[in-house]
Chains A and B, each alone.
Chain A
Amino acid sequence: MRLIHDNKMITVRNLTKSYHVGPITVPVLKGIDFSVEYGEFVAIMGPSGSGKSTLLNVLGILDRYDEGEYILNGTLIKPLSETEAAYFRSRLIGFVFQSFNLLPFKSAIDNVSMPLYYQKVPRRQRDEKARRLLERMGLADRIHHLPTEMSGGQRQRVAIARALVNEPPLILADEPTGNLDSETSEDVMKIFSEINAEGRTLVVITHDEHIAARARRVIRLQDGRITNRNLG
Chain B
Amino acid sequence: MFDFDRWAEIGQSLKQHKLRTALTAFGVSWGIFMLILLLGMGKGLERGTMALYQDTATNSVWINGGKTSQDYKGLTPGRLVNLDIEDIAMLARLPGIDLIGPTKLVNKAYNMQYGQNIGSFQIYGIGAANAGIQKLSLQGGRQINELDERESRKVAVVGTRVVEVLMKNRIDPLGSSILVGGIPFTVIGVYKKALEEQSPNRVYIPYATLRNVFDSSPYINQIALTIAPGHTWASIRPEAVKLLAQRHRFDAQDSAALEIYDISAEVKKLQSLMTGIRLFMVIVGVGTLLAGCVGVSNTMLVTVKERTREFGIRKAIGASPSSILFMVLHETLAITLVAGYLGLLAGVGVIELVRGVGIESDYFRDPQIDLPIALGAIAVLSVAGLIAGYLPARQAVRISPIEALRHE
Contacts and interface: CB of A to CB of B under 8 A. Distances in A.
Interface string A79-98: 00011001101110001010
A82 B5 contact: no
B320 A123 contact: no
B22 to A, nearest CB: 18
Interface string A55-89: 00100101100000000000000000011001101
A103 interface: yes
A86 B320 contact: yes
A114 B317 CA distance: 8
Contacts of B402: 57, 62-63
Interface size class of A (residues with CB under 8 A): 20 to 34
B318 A86 contact: yes
Interface size class of B (residues with CB under 8 A): 20 to 34
A41 B15 CA distance: 42
Nearest to A116: B318
A62 B316 CA distance: 7
A115 interface: yes
Contacts of A123: 4-5
Contacts of A91: 318
Contacts of B315: 86, 89
Contact of A60 (B5, B316, B397): B316
A163 to B, nearest CB: 8
Interface in A19-74: 57, 60, 62-63
B216 interface: no
Contacts of B310: 103
B12 interface: yes
A70 B15 CA distance: 42
A62 B314 contact: no
A123 B7 CA distance: 13
Given A82-B321, A105-B12, A95 B316 contact: yes
A83 B325 CA distance: 12
Contact of B16 (A97, A105, A115, A119): A105
A106 interface: yes
Contacts, number: 61
B245 to A, nearest CB: 84
A108 to B, nearest CB: 15
Given A105-B16, A117-B5, A123-B4, A86 B313 contact: no
Nearest to A92: B318
A115 B320 contact: no
Interface string B312-344: 111111111111000000000000000000000
B302 interface: no
A141 B4 CA distance: 27
B318 A115 contact: yes
B313 A103 contact: yes
B317 A83 contact: no
A63 B321 CA distance: 15
A115 to B, nearest CB: 4
A88 to B, nearest CB: 9
B318 A89 contact: yes
Interface centre among A60, A95, A106, A117 (most CB of B within 10 A): A117
B405 interface: yes
Given A62-B405, A105-B12, A123-B5, A115 B317 contact: yes
B317 A162 contact: yes
A101 interface: yes
B313 A101 contact: yes
Contacts of B313: 101-103
A145 B93 CA distance: 94
A90 B402 CA distance: 16
Contact of B405 (A87, A101, A115, A166): A101
Nearest to B6: A117
A206 B314 CA distance: 24
A118 B5 contact: no
B189 interface: no
Interface in A121-167: 123, 162, 166
A62 B401 contact: yes
B290 to A, nearest CB: 31
A95 B12 contact: no
Contacts of A83: 320-322
A86 B12 contact: no
Interface string A98-114: 00011101100000001
Contact of A101 (B12, B316, B318, B321): B316
17 contacts: A60-B316, A62-B316, A62-B401, A82-B397, A86-B315, A87-B318, A90-B317, A90-B318, A103-B313, A114-B314, A115-B318, A117-B5, A118-B314, A118-B323, A123-B5, A162-B317, A166-B318
Given A105-B15, A123-B4, A162-B317, 14 more contacts: A82-B320, A86-B320, A87-B320, A89-B317, A89-B318, A95-B317, A97-B405, A101-B309, A102-B313, A106-B12, A114-B314, A118-B314, A118-B318, A119-B318
